[in-house]
Structures are given as C-alpha cells and as structure tokens.
C-alpha cells in the first residue's frame, strides 16, 4: 500500500516516506504506564468461541493473526506491567430490536439475536453469546479491570469508556479486539476525536474476511498515532 501511496503523491513524497518510516515502529513508542490503558473491544463468545454466532465470519482472520492468544497476551501484559485494562463489550438488550434506525449490519445482528442479553433471566447470561470469552474471565473479573457498560453501535459514544479513562488521568490507549474494521476502527476514531493518543495492535484484532481486514489496516495506518504488533507492545512495555 505504501508504495502506491508514494507514487500517487508526487511532490510531497518526503512527507510520506516519513510516514512510512514512522510505521516501521523503530524506535518503539515510549508509554507512560500511569497514563496508558490497554482497551479490548468485544472480547465475547459470539465472536471468539467456536460456536459463537459470528465466529464463522472471523474464523480465517482469527487463525491467521493468532488473535485469541494475542489478546490474552495483551491482557496479561496489562496486569504484569501495572497498566489499566478496560474491556468494552457490545451487548444488545431484548428491547433494542425495536430500533427503527439501525444500520445495515446492526439490523442483521439484532435480527439474528447475536450479542443479545437474555432478558428477565439474568442467570442465563453466563456463558451466552454476549458473555465474555471464558479464557479471558480471570483477567476481566480480577476486581481491577474496568468493565464499561456495553456500547450500542460500534464506538464508545454511548457508554462510559471515555469517562472511565479520563477519570483516572489516562490519555493514551493501546487498542485491540473485535471487529477490526467496525468496533476497533470506531473506537480508534472516537478516542482520537476526544484527544487520546491511540496505538492499534494489528494482530490482536480480526475482521470478517481479507478485504475487511485490509480496510482496517488502511485506516489504522492513516489515522492512529501508531500501529503495532502484540510483540512490539510487550517490548515497548518491557522496560
């Protein structure tokens, strides 16, 4: 991508070779651990469990990138290095199917009952498609992880993620989760509109197919403050 980009821009190639260099992540960004959070969007069964309603859409990408393990590495790293960890789920209430203005994919998710809270029988939430992916629960339920209210579309505009981060003096986010070009991209954009520095972890996400993953990468590299691998994150936080 970068090469074609360079060809296109003609007179301002200098600017974009800088751009390219910066994408090499050499040197790694320096994070102030007291001001940085690792944020994982939608680490839930319907995306990650083999029988999740949306797992099939992401399966190829999840496998190629080793996403499930990489997200766990990020969670583990947050805990061992003393960074704030926040998880931001997508959960629909039973009533949400009433929305008259839902977008294309959102409408489909609502109609197929994905990510839906079984209303009236709280006991059923445990292990449901909307519940957190089992292997991540020890990190999420350790009494320290910030579990924000569900977002309702793709970004954090309708929940308390930004408030929770700001209320703790956090101004930088290392971001991963599901789905690469939807909730992860929307979180990147919304957090940056709010003045956060955002670094996206490109192998701790997954998209529904190669085109959607490529779309996510194109946008991450133009918009974010940086795009990193899980390995680069752990190295950057290792010191």
Instruction: Please report, as residue ranges, which positions from 1 to 30 form the binding site for a copy of itself (by CB under 8 A).
Output: 1-2, 4-6, 8-12, 15-16, 18-19, 22-23
- Choice from 64, 167, 235, 238 touching a copy of itself (CB under 8 A): 167
- Choice from 25, 29, 215, 229 touching a copy of itself (CB under 8 A): 215
- Choice from 28, 69, 118, 218 touching a copy of itself (CB under 8 A): 218
Q: Which is nearer to a copy of itself, 151 or 233 (CB)?
A: 151
Q: Applying CB under 8 A, does 198 fall inside the site for a copy of itself?
A: yes
Q: Which is nearer to a copy of itself, 107 or 238 (CB)?
A: 107
Scanning 36-44, 63-71, 129-137, 193-201 for contacts with a copy of itself by CB under 8 A, the matching segment is: 193-201
In the complex, minimum distance from the CB of residue 147 to a copy of itself, in angstroms, rounded to a whole number: 8
Is the peptide bond prior to 27 cis by the omega test (within 30 degrees of 0)? yes
- Best CA proximity match to 80, nearest among 167, 168, 142: 142
Q: Which is nearer to a copy of itself, 28 or 96 (CB)?
A: 96
In the complex, minimum distance from the CB of residue 43 to a copy of itself, in angstroms, rounded to a whole number: 18
Q: Cβ of 178: how many Cβ atoms within 10 Å?
A: 29
Q: Report 130-159 residues binding a copy of itself (CB under 8 A).
A: 143-144, 146-147, 149-155, 157-159
The binding track of 89-128 with respect to a copy of itself, each residue x by CB under 8 A or -, is ----xxxx-xxxxxxxxxxx--xx------xx-x------
Q: Report 28-67 residues binding a copy of itself (CB under 8 A).
A: 53-54, 56-57, 59-60
């Amino acid at each position: 991508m970068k090469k074609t980009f360079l060809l296109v821009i003609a007179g301002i190639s200098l600017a974009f070779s800088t751009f390219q260099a910066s994408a090499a992540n050499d040197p790694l960004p320096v994070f102030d651990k007291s001001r940085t959070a690792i944020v994982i969007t939608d680490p839930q069964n319907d995306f990650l469990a083999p029988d999740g309603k949306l797992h099939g859409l992401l399966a190829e990408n999840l496998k190629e990138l080793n996403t499930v393990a990489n997200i766990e590495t990020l969670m583990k790293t947050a805990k061992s290095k003393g960074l704030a960890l926040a998880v931001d789920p997508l959960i629909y209430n039973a009533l949400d199917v009433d929305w008259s203005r839902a977008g294309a994919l959102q409408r489909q998710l609502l109609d197929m009952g994905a990510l839906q809270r079984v209303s009236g029988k709280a006991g059923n939430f445990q292990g449901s498609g909307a519940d957190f992916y089992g292997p991540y629960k020890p990190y999420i339920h350790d009494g320290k992880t910030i579990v924000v209210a569900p977002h309702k579309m793709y970004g954090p505009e309708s929940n308390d993620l930004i408030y929770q981060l700001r209320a703790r003096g956090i101004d930088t986010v290392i971001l991963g989760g599901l789905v690469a070009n939807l909730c992860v991209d929307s979180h990147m954009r919304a957090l940056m509109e709010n003045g956060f520095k955002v670094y996206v972890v490109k192998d701790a996400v997954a998209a529904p197919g190669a085109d959607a993953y490529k779309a996510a990468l194109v946008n991450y590299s133009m918009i974010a403050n940086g795009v990193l691998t899980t390995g680069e994150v752990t190295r950057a936080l290792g010191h």
